[in-house]
Chains A and B, each alone.
Chain A
Amino acid sequence: MALSRRTIALAAGALVLALVPPIAALTNQPFYVDLVRRMMIFAIAAASLDLILGYGGMVSFGHAAYLGIGAYAVGIPAFYGVENGWLQWGLAITAAALAAAVIGAISLRTSGVSFIMITLAFAQMLYYLGISLETYGGDNGMRLAGRSRFGGPIDLRDPAVFYYVVLAILAVLLALGRRLVDSRFGMVIRAAKSNEARARAIGLSPVPYKLTAFVIAGGAGGLAGALLANQTEYLTPDFMHWTRSGEIMFMVILGGMGTLFGPVIGAVALLLLEDVLSALTAHWQIILGPILILVVLFAKRGLFGLVAGAETRDG
């Protein structure tokens, strides 16, 4: 079998990601380990959103909420001296999935624009809840007492170890996502996206499937939040701010929605763009805004379509 453009691109991408820590160490640029790790964490968040947005057609504008819940699920136990990572991250996934179950159950009663507004409003509600948590820093947020502890060789305080943990989680989640999307479950949510009336007509009832996808995406978003709290070692309600939800959504579109690797490319590209623009001027958002509009208007297929070739319909 001849190697397709897509396979070559993926292998090259994986190789580059795996080589970042040694290269950064050799060139004495530890900053890049930090930056790429941050990109991969947002890639996890974006990929989880893509499951419901790209494959399920549910335009959730509140994905940052799960990021915030995950972050607080690490920060609050740490505040009380509980630093066990299994416990913290488990709590992050469970709490975010639970929140997604409640939000999804209510939001999925509607569709279209209402769905967008409601998911946005719920995320904003959690944002205000975060602000009112005076014990945990309120508006200003709080420092994370210490990174999650897992014992053994997994010491997140070592930047390279933390890096490979994030890379491994990203790889596992993408592999699981691939299987999920190709499974019967994935076919049902894709069918519901392309034509819900027809999906119903052939005897499927899409809502339970959509809700399950919503919950899975929420849980994965929670895990990304737990990672993000460890990354910044600081957490604030701003993790849940609605502009953050917009950013994650933009990552998905920029990379190519409804593709497996698109969100990863989108996260890398957007954070890189922000990095470059903010070095250029303090008012970088005045450039980013119009870029966003142009991407939506003219490059809807996303970067993944460019990298993998126009023939690729699905990542």
Chain B
Amino acid sequence: MSITLGLVLEQTLNGLQYGVMLFLMAAGLTLVFGIMNVINLAHGSFYMVGAYLATALTEKTGSFVLGVALALPATLLVGVLVEIVALRTLYERDHLDQVLATFGLILFFNELVAIVWGRAAIFTSVPQFLSGHFRLLPGLPYPTYRAVIILVGVVVAVLLWALVTRTRLGMRIRAGASNRTMIAALGVDIRLLYTLVFGLGAALAGLAGAMAGPVYSVQPGMGEAILIQVFVVIVIGGIGSIRGAIVGAIVVGMADTLGRAFLKPLLATMISPPAADKAGPALASMSIYLLMAAVLFFRPEGLFPARGRS
């Protein structure tokens, strides 16, 4: 395989597309952590639930757009339920308790999905009107669906930015992140705020999952594979920071995609091709973790540590 400019451009866009998915996940997780100081391992479960609900609703309604649009409020509802039933009791607990309890939630959701839809992977196809390619450059087609994912991600990022910096709710979210006791004392219903933010995070993860359905396979446990990469995103970006989540997501998405595409041919120019065949994939799958280790070595707080916490 030779490396051409067109291929590099295509893989860069793929990296951006994966980065967008990671961002949708990371935004919710980092908001929840920033405001409630809760680490939620079950965030990946919302991604999975979103993917399954979108698939099922698309089948029922016959329309992909409608399926995704209905899956969003449904996932939000699941998130709100989880917050009220389980998460609420964990706010005052230490991180170890939160990790274990949300680990329990993962087991529950994975098995629940397996009971309802079975353990086998479900493959869905891209809807007809998005299934084509468009011409990125002369002689360089790019799948429309992946471009739409990138577009949706950019729109969501802008909306989220506007929500956090320009609205009353956003003001409360920021105030809650810097001092939750004070904002409660000022008469803001902090419990309602927590529930809202948690539901919003769940819906964002659900959106990522719903869009992931046609690109990756839909199966129990799909949330955890991406969740661990989202952790890498958050650790690189700085916990609790939306800006960090954006930068971290794009860096990780790029590193992972470009590493898988180009490490092997690049290595082959330096060491023998059979050795590169073996080392390439191994190194590619480890690349983002090595990147994380490097970032932490120089900036233990991540690239954009959130203000207002030590």
Which residues of chain A have a CB within 8 Å of any CB of chain B? 53, 59, 61, 106, 109-110, 112-114, 116-118, 120-122, 124-125, 128-129, 131-135, 242-243, 246, 249-250, 253, 283-286, 288-293, 296-297, 300
Contact = CB atoms under 8 A, between A and B. Distances in A.
5 contacts: A59-B95, A113-B39, A121-B292, A286-B107, A289-B104
B95 A113 contact: yes
Contact of B107 (A61, A118, A131, A289): A289
B151 interface: no
A121 B290 CA distance: 10
Interface string B97-115: 1011101111111111011
A49 to B, nearest CB: 12
B286 A242 contact: no
Interface residues of B, number: 44
B272 interface: no
B240 to A, nearest CB: 9
Given A116-B95, A129-B282, A297 B101 contact: yes
B222 interface: no
B278 A289 contact: no
Interface stretch (B48-56, B136-144, B167-175, B293-301): B293-301
Interface stretch (B59-67, B123-131, B204-212, B224-232): B224-232
B86 interface: yes
Interface string B35-75: 00001000000000000000000000000000000000000
Interface in B255-303: 278, 281-282, 285-286, 289-290, 292-293, 296-297, 300-302
A129 B287 CA distance: 11
B5 interface: no
Given A61-B99, A242-B228, A285-B110, A110 B104 contact: no
Interface of B: 33, 39, 86, 89, 93, 95-97, 99-101, 103-112, 114-115, 224, 228, 231-232, 234-235, 239, 278, 281-282, 285-286, 289-290, 292-293, 296-297, 300-302
B297 A293 contact: no
A292 B296 contact: no
Nearest to A253: B100
Contacts of A129: 282, 285-286
- Most A-side CB within 10 Å, residue of B103, B228, B231: B103
B89 A113 contact: no
A33 to B, nearest CB: 29
A300 B106 contact: no
Given A109-B296, A120-B228, A289 B105 contact: yes
A292 B103 contact: yes
Contacts of B292: 118, 121
A125 B97 CA distance: 24
A286 B109 CA distance: 7
Contacts of A112: 95
A131 B108 contact: no
B100 A249 contact: yes
Contacts of B286: 125, 128-129
Contact of B96 (A59, A290, A297): A59
Listed from nearest, the 6 A-B pairs whose CB atoms lie closest are A292-B104, A289-B108, A289-B107, A125-B289, A286-B111, A132-B282
- Most A-side CB within 10 Å, residue of B100, B109, B235, B296: B100
